[in-house]
């Protein structure tokens, strides 16, 4: 049975700049009571670029990924991330 009716993260602003602290609320609406050990959040910011080039008449795809942030934190309760 699903106990969670709504789970949402509502940030205080739509856009953040490098070095700013994210602020907001976590909304958890349940259909009935249940035990909860912790609430953990994972924040991941990633860029992906892909383009095609021709090298010596041969068509190639160039791809690159860059991870800017990969953080896990416990925002309520006990437990390691």
Place 2 in a pLDDT band, splitting at 50, 70 and 90: confident
* 12-47 pLDDT tens trace: 999 988 889 989 998 989 999 988 888 888 989 999
The number of distinct structural domains making up the chain is 1
The string over 24-51, giving b where at least 16 C-beta atoms fall within 10 Å of a residue's C-beta and e elsewhere, is eeeeeeeeeeeeeeeeeeeeeeeeeeee
Q: Which residue has the higher pLDDT, 8 or 81?
A: 8
Q: Which domain holds residue 15?
A: 4-77
Structure tokens at 70: 């990969």
Cut 0.75: pTM above it: no
What does the pLDDT read at residue 19?
Answer: 87
Residue of 27, 39, 32 lying closest to 81 (CA atoms): 39
What does the pLDDT read at residue 1?
Answer: 53
């Amino acid at each position: 049975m699903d106990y969670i009716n709504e789970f949402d993260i509502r940030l205080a602003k739509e856009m953040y700049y490098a070095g700013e602290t994210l602020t907001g609320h976590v909304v958890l609406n349940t259909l009935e009571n249940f035990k909860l050990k912790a609430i953990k959040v994972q924040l991941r910011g990633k860029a992906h670029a892909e383009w095609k080039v021709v090298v010596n008449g041969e068509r190639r795809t160039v791809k690159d990924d860059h991870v800017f942030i990969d953080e896990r934190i416990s925002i309520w309760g006990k437990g390691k991330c």
